[in-house]
Amino acid sequence: MAKKKQSQGYENPRTTPAKVVTSKPAPSTSGGSQARSGASRTADTAQRPVTRPAAEKTTLPAAQSDLPIDKRPVEWWPPAVLALLGFALYINTFGHQYALDDIAAVGQNLFVKKGIAGIPDLLRTEFWHFSNISLGYYRPLSLITFAMEQEYFKDNPNISHMINAGLYGLTGLVIGVLLQKWLTGNAILAFLIGLVFIAHPLHTEIVANIKGRDEILSFLFIALMLLSYWKHLESDATYWFKGPPSDWPLGGMLGLFSLVGGWVIGSSLMGSTVGGVIGVLIMGALSGSWLGLACASLYFAFLSKESSIVSLALIPAMQYWFARRNVWQSLISLWPFLIVTALFFYQKQKMIGTLSGTPPVDWANYPYAIEKTQKSTMFKFLEYYLRLLILPHPLVYDYSYNVIPSGGKGDVLTWAGFFTFIGLIWLAWKGFVKRTLWGFGIFWFFVTMAPGLGFIWIRGGIFAERFTYAAVMGFSFVLVWALQKLLVREPESSTKPLLVRYAPLLGLMVVVAGFYSFKTVERNQDWENNFVLFNSALPYAPNSCQVQRHVANEWIEKGLKDRAKADSIANATNAIKPKPSLEQVKKAQVVIDTNIAHANKHGRWALDHLQESTRIYPNFGEAYFSMAYVFQKITPNVDSAKYYYKQTIRAANAYAPAYNNLGVIYQGEGQAENNRQKLELASYYYNRSMVVNPAYVDGQNNRASLLKAYGIDVKILPDSIVNKY
């Protein structure tokens, strides 16, 4: 069926001028159905008296079909500014080291460390494969980029931080174009919405933390999907390369990425060149059209983060609000994306064997599930999220138990969150019916916050700033719309220059964006390394058992370095030939004693924080593990180390390092005392570490070494022997 043009534009339904001028920003972007001016024909009254007003005959416009919609031009300065600003805001992260989850995602991921050779394994394992947990997260795309960085740059966090900043800048470019497509003829409003999104400090956890690339890539590909599908709505050609040359850069780059991705994924999943060829053929078939590129972008968004599934709701919403399509037209267009969704989750099931994983019973990170307060706490979280969207201070990297106590029937914030939730639902419906800009913002907020709120509702997980990454866009819509309504008083028909009419709004937005940008740059400094990050949270989250443990572990690291320095000086002194002089021994002993004193001091500080951590959460196994490690490595006390490792196993019986370290202690004692029972205990604990985590490499290596040296490989021991020592 031939496509006919449909009248487009996001207009105020109460504005019905004879001629709509779209070259100027509308004073209000709220409204219902699109205003249309019908052609009119007035009765001829020349040379005869008028006895009554002439009847006006209006010719209704012909029935209009669906596609293509009118092509909407783009001014390139706003996307360019957003891209440059997004990159510039994170320049001060370029000298940063690995921090927080970077260590697990990069440093401790053996498949990432293998470089390109590890890509097939990354496509077949879940995200936290080497972290002794099974959360069912299948996010190989960011891990593949880390593996490529390892291949060419080898443990260089500077490159990783630069790539994150570059991807964030690219996100600014894409949303800058997309917003202009949606808000046709109003580049200023589109730019201001993008400006709030790019400058917002809540994004620091994602961009300044290298591991956050999964979220950056997910949102970037969602934005590319929406933009590609919009280009499909605009296009009257089947293939993008048959359209105007201005479409070629976007289509060409997306197509090239899809082809490369098809080769890498196909060859890795099938383990052969044939698989790569099949992948290229599939992606090549998709890459010729805008609809195909939109589907490919959705697939890459899924490979970045499964929560991208919520973007399926944004596709019809975009069409309904901004392309003026009706609800049925908008919903029926989802069918190709539903096929992509089904194929992705089939791939996930085949690759990692689960769609949901098995969250651990963990008071630190899943406390509300244990307390059975998920639903009430979710409403409480909503209030916290809204507050941080408006006033993003203070920001904390961790909100573990017990930073935000459980919600409940007697909690004021829980009830405030409940009534806020109901109010926002009502406003979203009202905004949907009237197709208002603020309605779209609230809808976007709800859709993109669904994973974060669902994390508490379904799994009882903790609050996290990263869940707001995409939701900031919805907040930006509402904020800019509200400020425009408040500050832009001049009607569109005003003869005043555009910048004069928008001067109050622009002035206030400079202040808001300036504050957000300052906070972003300032917050970036906290992500320099673990020591800085963890200590920055202490004043704002002293009741977080995780923060207390993390700070303690940093003091443990310093204590280990002090001990290593003392041992190094002792070894160097003893190595002097023929033998060190008395003066050399005295000087060396002074330095050794100084370093041991520093080690003991740092060990005591670590124990102070660990004791506070276990006061907050008495069954915190990892905190007991750190206590044991202090007594094993920094302030040697073997009996205390054994006691706290066993406390770790009692509190967290699936924590593999505790079994392994107990084995190390018993092996050392067995060798020193020539005690076979202790050597058998060592073998038993090494094997136990492999039972609770088959991928635990230290346990595997220690078991193999003991077996080779003594021929001992014990998997079962009676309790009488296990408890004897």
DSSP structure string for 129-151: TTTT-B-----HHHHHHHHHHHH
Number of continuous H segments (helices) and E segments (strands) in the chain: 31, 2
Amino acid at 181: K
Instruction: State the number of CA atoms in the 13 A half-sphere of 565 facing the CB.
Output: 16
Sole residue written with tokens 């408006």? 390
The pair of structure tokens assigned to 62 is 């012909």
The verdict on whether omega for the bond into residue 578 sits within 30 degrees of 0, i.e. cis, is: yes
Residue 195 reports pLDDT greater than 90: yes
- Residue-level pLDDT at 312: 97
Residue 57 reports pLDDT greater than 70: no
Give per-residue pLDDT as tens, 317-353: 999 999 999 999 999 999 999 999 999 999 999 999 8
- Residue-level pLDDT at 723: 80
Give the whole-angstrom CA distance, residue 424 versus residue 422. Answer: 6
Cβ count within 10 A of residue 39: 8
Greater confidence, 125 or 695? 125
Q: Quick one: which of 504, 488, 430 has its CA closest to 26?
A: 488
Give the whole-angstrom CA distance, residue 701 versus residue 530. Answer: 28
Amino acid at 102: D
What number is the average pLDDT over the span 444-456? Answer: 96
What number is the average pLDDT over the span 387-404? Answer: 95
Give the whole-angstrom CA distance, residue 26 versus residue 649. Answer: 65
Amino acid at 106: V
Asked if 712 contacts 680 with a C-beta cutoff of 8 angstroms, the reply is yes
- Residue-level pLDDT at 493: 67
Cβ count within 10 A of residue 466: 17
At residue 12, the 3 state secondary structure works out as: coil
Residue 414 reports pLDDT greater than 70: yes
What number is the average pLDDT over the span 86-94? Answer: 97
Greater confidence, 355 or 514? 514
Give the whole-angstrom CA distance, residue 397 versus residue 377. Answer: 19
The verdict on whether omega for the bond into residue 580 sits within 30 degrees of 0, i.e. cis, is: no
Asked if 628 contacts 661 with a C-beta cutoff of 8 angstroms, the reply is yes
pTM listed for this prediction = 0.86
- In angstroms, what is the C-alpha Rg of the chain? 31
Query: Would you mind telling me the total number of residues written for the chain in this entry?
Result: 725
Asked if 377 contacts 414 with a C-beta cutoff of 8 angstroms, the reply is yes
Cβ count within 10 A of residue 511: 9
Give per-residue pLDDT as tens, 122-168: 999 998 887 767 788 999 999 999 999 999 999 899 999 999 999 99
b/e 522-555 (16+ beta carbons within 10 angstroms → b): ebbebbbbbbebbebbeeebebbbbbbbbbbbbb
Picking from 35-39, 172-176, 433-437, 628-632, which range would have the lowest pLDDT averaged per residue?
A: 35-39
Angle between helix 437-459 and helix 314-322 axes, rounded to 10 deg: 170
Give the whole-angstrom CA distance, residue 696 versus residue 683. Answer: 15
Model confidence band, residue 721 (pLDDT cutoffs 50, 70, 90): confident
How much of the chain, in percent, has pLDDT values that exceed 90? 75
- Residue-level pLDDT at 597: 95
Sole residue written with tokens 């997260």? 137
Q: Quick one: which of 253, 204, 260 has its CA closest to 227?
A: 253
* Cα 13–chain centre separation: 38
- Residue-level pLDDT at 505: 94
